[in-house]
Amino acid sequence: MKIFLAQQNYHIGNFEANTNKIIAAIEEAKKQGGDLIVFSELSVCGYPPRDFLEFNDFIEQGLACIDRIRQVADTIGVLVGCPSRNPKIEGKDLFNSAYLLYEKEIKGIVHKTLLPNYDIFDEYRYFEPAYEWNVLTFKGKRLAVTICEDIWNLGDDPLYRICPMDELIKHQPDIMINLSASPFDYIHEDGRKGIVRRNVVKYNLPMVYCNTIGSQTEIVFDGGSLVMNANGDLLTEMPYFTESMASVTWNDDGTFTDGVVRTADTIHTADPLPATFEPLKNIEKIHSALILGIRDYFGKMGFKKAIVASSGGIDSAVVLALACEALGSENVSALLLPSQFSTSHSVSDAEQLSKNLDNHYDIIPIENVFKAYEGALQNVFSGLPFNVAEENLQSRIRGAMVMALSNKFGSILLNTSNKSELATGYGTLYGDMAGGLGVLGDLYKMQVYAVARYINRDKEIIPQNIIDKAPSAELRHDQKDSDSLPEYDVLDPILYQYIERRQGPKEIVSIGNDPALVTRILKLVNNNEYKRNQFCPIIRVSPKAFGVGRRVPIVGKYLS
């Protein structure tokens, strides 16, 4: 049996485009003599559809697409994902389902059992879990079909009360097939391959695992679909962050006659979240995820051009370089907005960056605008010292300027705030926190520097002076970030313990951190949730990003 895996990038709710893409892959697999082709979870409608699932028309369009796909599933079997209706009155109205189509018929439907309701996932809001488990029969073979989370409930600390494969194995299946929408974060790849291996070893069956790719607003899916034999050897591993198709030939004796064997010894068994902060971990894949996140956000929203407020600092430099790579330099513009507090090298560094990237840039000094604001506020501010009000005023002037160009020329503003700043509130609402998409909002400052060095891996794109100089918002003379925050090599590891590892103050102090410093930092994080709640979507690259996957109260007493 020749089995194809179609690793594709879907657009949520774009039924026509998704279905055309699915049918094109089916036709190609038929040309190459395929017997069965496997797609990813909810491929027809795109994942995650969220509250679109509450619209009857959305469900009807998905079911109509299943009928359309069924017509081309004549000489080849097709496993494809789409919501289905629950015929029972009890429970939710929908299932998250996989359809087996063959001979222009629906030969079987499998429902997802384990509905994740943590971090970015909210499936139990919409779907009813499966309540019966049967294999699908195809060309004399018994297929144990599962959907994404269904294979993850293994180990000594199970999250759910049931393991679907424990039920399916009772029907003596010949192979496991998993339709998945498993998102990227910088530790998840090894854990994903590890969980597949644990399944094949436990059940002594091979597995075909098809994952989606593409970015859906803040969530990036990285692909990496694979085939593993019953010995736990990795036969096929598809590219990351790229649409592709692959095939394997599965023999009657359960072996495969193609694929390159990688021994199981190279595969970890779980997500290896480091105990301490590792800013260099998987920077290449983080870079790829950010590029895909920008490109898909623009492509799927129909946006063409981006604008970046370029300050001569590391954050805006990295965002500008990523945007040029993702969208093409001709589609990215930079706006330099120096004030009387900006150093000459900041302007020259920003200019050199745009020259290196070959993107258009404009320079609009804001000193006169700032002085006009000061004059307008003179009576109200009379006798009061220069402080954060005047500093933030400059940031808000810059926000207004860059948004004016955004409106005039139809360019989407890419935000440049990093995770360290967002965590501690080191940013100005309606100023440098403005934007349509947060590119670096899930990268700590030390990771931003690591991405900058990766961008410069072959040649100097980001001027070295931008990387070397001390970070500063330049809102007053001789200002440094370290005037307001601990040094980033001290701050970032503490933030990591609190945000990613969910360690409390006692645990963070116990690993050698100063108690007063820990208290100060954690209070900053909690007291600035109101700012993050007003922030734009952030491209997720870590196991715990700000946004939909981290839900803490704005008004709360814990550590405040």
Q: What is d(CA 47, CA 446) in angstroms, rounded to the nearest whole number?
A: 32
Q: What is d(CA 301, CA 337) in angstroms, rounded to the nearest whole number?
A: 28
Q: What is d(CA 112, CA 133) in angstroms, rounded to the nearest whole number?
A: 10
Residue 252: partners with Cβ closer than 8 Å, 6 or more residues away: none
Integer CA distances (angstroms), 70 to 80, 405, 437, 447, in order: 10, 48, 38, 47
* Coil, helix or strand at residue 145: strand
Report the run of H or E that residue 550 belongs to, with start and end: none
* Coil, helix or strand at residue 350: helix
Query: Using omega within 30 degrees of 0 as the cis cutoff, is the peptide bond preceding 48 cis?
Result: yes
- If one counts every other C-beta atom within 10 angstroms of the C-beta of residue 370, the result is 18
* Alpha helices for 231-340 (secondary structure H): 283-301, 314-327
Residue 178: partners with Cβ closer than 8 Å, 6 or more residues away: 145, 146, 147, 148, 150, 151, 196, 207, 208, 209, 210
Integer CA distances (angstroms), 208 to 183, 225, 248, 335, in order: 18, 8, 9, 49
* Alpha helices for 440-513 (secondary structure H): 445-455, 464-468, 488-499, 505-510
Residue 222 pairs in a beta bridge with 213
Q: What is the torsion angle, in degrees rounded to the nearest 10, for the CA atoms of residue 411, residue 412, residue 418 and residue 419? A: 180
Distance of CA 165 to the CA centre of its chain: 28
**Ramachandran area for residue 209 (φ above 0: left; ψ -120 to 50: alpha; else beta):** beta
How do beta strands 136-138 and 141-147 pair? antiparallel
* Coil, helix or strand at residue 395: helix
Among residues 55, 60, 53, the alpha carbon closest in space to that of 124 is found at 53
Going across the sheet that includes 332-336, the strands are 360-363, 332-336, 305-309, 411-415, 437-438
C-beta of residue 366 within 8 angstroms of C-beta of residue 336: no
C-beta of residue 213 within 8 angstroms of C-beta of residue 8: yes
Tell me the HSE value of 535 on the side-chain side, using a 13 A CA sphere. Answer: 35
Residue 219 pairs in a beta bridge with 216
Active site positions, annotated: 41, 112, 148
C-beta of residue 149 within 8 angstroms of C-beta of residue 122: no
Exposed e or buried b for every residue in 97-131, given b needs 16+ CB within 10 A? Answer: bbbbbbeeeebbebbbbbbbeebbbbbeebbbbbe
* Coil, helix or strand at residue 308: strand
